[in-house]
Structure 1
């Protein structure tokens, strides 16, 4: 087994990367130019590790190398620090694991991470690699990651809406509880009758990344419930992400001013697209009430029209998403110490 530990800031796109993405079903946030742009704007080094059998990629893991040098308002420097841990996570959408293996097994690849990836990174990073945080572990992977000195905790569930049984947005709406269905119908009628708001679903390349960043930053300022506040959405990153061919954008414009008042991005996938970003101005700032509910319906309509099986609506507000028909998928995070034996405990 050959193992490539790559730094997107400095390493060129591997010749096998397109094949790997297609085989693994990795979405637009795994595009190499997106990974490169994100890595240059990150707090930490962002190693991408590929396991391959000759020229055939057999697995990939995305992580952040966190050390005592990591700071909230400091970009990753040229050095990587001697002591730290790996935060294994998806490079963009936190609703999906940050790894894929061709032979993942019943536990979703958790055993592969522990038995193959961890020793490889121990050899790469040296004895200063002391711990790993493994996010988005599904229930089947919990037994594999549990053990002495490990801390496993359930995190926020992931909302997934299955739409393959519906022929239209109305079919989906009719499957919901009466009160929710009546509320949605009123919302859709209100938007349809409002000439001051224009809604469109377009390829990402048609969106203005500056306007998108402005709305997303407005939305992020409202949320301060995480230990490490996310970095703002950089226009450079959004510019690269939006021009990927598998990105769609749902936009809401005020027709009187042309201003973007709400936006959502969809990372397309043949089976399981992800609703990646959402941002909206409040009514006092020029937005409209109930924008999120309308967007949810638009995403459902788009998915049905394009033959998708489900849509991942991510974390947060899971109880509300359940009333919109989403099933809640349990997710876990595991803190795993790494000992000098080069094997996880």
Structure 2
């Protein structure tokens, strides 16, 4: 069977005619919408190639990555060129650190598609980038893919676990609360009652298009300022990016807003999915700045209620605060990163 390859640069290449159908087939969330990828690519520090493999004319695989070269700098944005002839590919999801950045239609569960990255994706990128491609960093590797990526001179390390709350079979929040510890259950009920009794606060799960991207961007930066525990601090949420992300039909926002002023107090950004929505981001105003205490815990209850009532299998809550997430009913799913010299 013939294999067609497209190496796309969202900055310059138009949306492929098959892209929406590919997204649906592969279960790719709103951060893979083409207009979102375009904006992200222009707001990034490095080029963001998207590779599509088509078997017999039909799209059968897609991989997202960032090209990290000798020209990449923490304080430099991407240029109109590839930027640097010597470097490596950082294979990662375009918008979430909780799910992989690749999909292969013919991959089985034995290695989660990691074998296809080596046998199909790497040869394509070697032809595209030449001898300057010296390595591959694969993030969000599930446990099933570890053995396939391990080997001589390769470094595979466990990263932060991902918290997942299963909601299949739950009738609502009471079923979820029943599985938690007594102290945690009591505290969550107290918080829920306090939020219900606050006449000044409005809480709603809304389509992203109904949320002001400027206000949301400003709010999300409160949370981003806390994360300085990585080698390269993540870029802030750009309003242009959020504008395009929020208008995708599969984006929701759990919004906490002051009724009188319309001020955004807290919000969770959710990338919806028929089975496994992902919480993309959470942020809240500090209490000293007029925020409310304990809204992070309340958002868990509201998210579980929504997921259970809408028939989702569960919610991927993301990384960080693993111990706390476990106390809130999440199971911790191991993830790994693999550094592979080429």
TM above 0.5, yes or no, is yes
Residue 93 of structure 1 corresponds to 96
Residue 288 of structure 2 corresponds to 284
Tell me, yes or no, if structure 1 residue 109 matches structure 2 residue 123.
Answer: no
Tell me, yes or no, if structure 1 residue 12 matches structure 2 residue 26.
Answer: no
After superposition, the C-alpha distances for 1:222-263 in whole angstroms (9 at most, x for unaligned) are 221111100010000000000000001011112242210111
Tell me, yes or no, if structure 1 residue 29 matches structure 2 residue 26.
Answer: no
5+ residue gaps, structure 2, are none
Shift of 1:334: 0.3
Shift of 1:79: 2.1
Residue 169 of structure 1 corresponds to 173
Distance in structure 1 (CA, Å) of the matches to 2:168 and 2:14: 39
Distance in structure 1 (CA, Å) of the matches to 2:178 and 2:195: 19
Shift of 1:298: 0.8
Shift of 1:165: 2.0
Give the total of aligned pairs. Answer: 338
Shift of 1:54: 3.0
Residue 246 of structure 2 corresponds to 242
Distance in structure 2 (CA, Å) of the matches to 1:323 and 1:165: 20
- Check whether the contact 2:104–2:113 (CA below 8 A) recurs between aligned residues: yes
Shift of 1:131: 0.4
After superposition, the C-alpha distances for 1:302-341 in whole angstroms (9 at most, x for unaligned) are 1111110110000000110001111100000000001xxx
Residue 49 of structure 1 corresponds to 51
Which structure 2 residues correspond to residues 62-77 of structure 1 after superposition, within 5 A? Answer: 62-77=64-79
SS at match of 1:288: coil
Distance in structure 2 (CA, Å) of the matches to 1:22 and 1:269: 10
- Check whether the contact 2:143–2:335 (CA below 8 A) recurs between aligned residues: yes
Which structure 2 residues correspond to residues 259-278 of structure 1 after superposition, within 5 A? Answer: 259-278=263-282
TM-score, normalized by length of structure 1?
0.97
Distance in structure 1 (CA, Å) of the matches to 2:68 and 2:199: 49
Distance in structure 2 (CA, Å) of the matches to 1:42 and 1:296: 31
After superposition, the C-alpha distances for 1:53-102 in whole angstroms (9 at most, x for unaligned) are 13211100000000111111211112221000000000001100000000
5+ residue gaps, structure 1, are 339-345
Higher mean displacement: 228-237 or 48-57? 48-57
Instruction: Please report the RMSD computed on the Cα atoms of aligned residues, expressed in angstroms.
Output: 0.8
Instruction: Work out which of the residue numbers 79, 83, 86 in structure 2 matches 1:83.
Output: 86
Distance in structure 2 (CA, Å) of the matches to 1:275 and 1:78: 32
SS at match of 2:269: strand
Tell me, yes or no, if structure 1 residue 334 matches structure 2 residue 323.
Answer: no
Distance in structure 2 (CA, Å) of the matches to 1:266 and 1:103: 28
Distance in structure 2 (CA, Å) of the matches to 1:44 and 1:96: 21
Residue 41 of structure 2 corresponds to 39
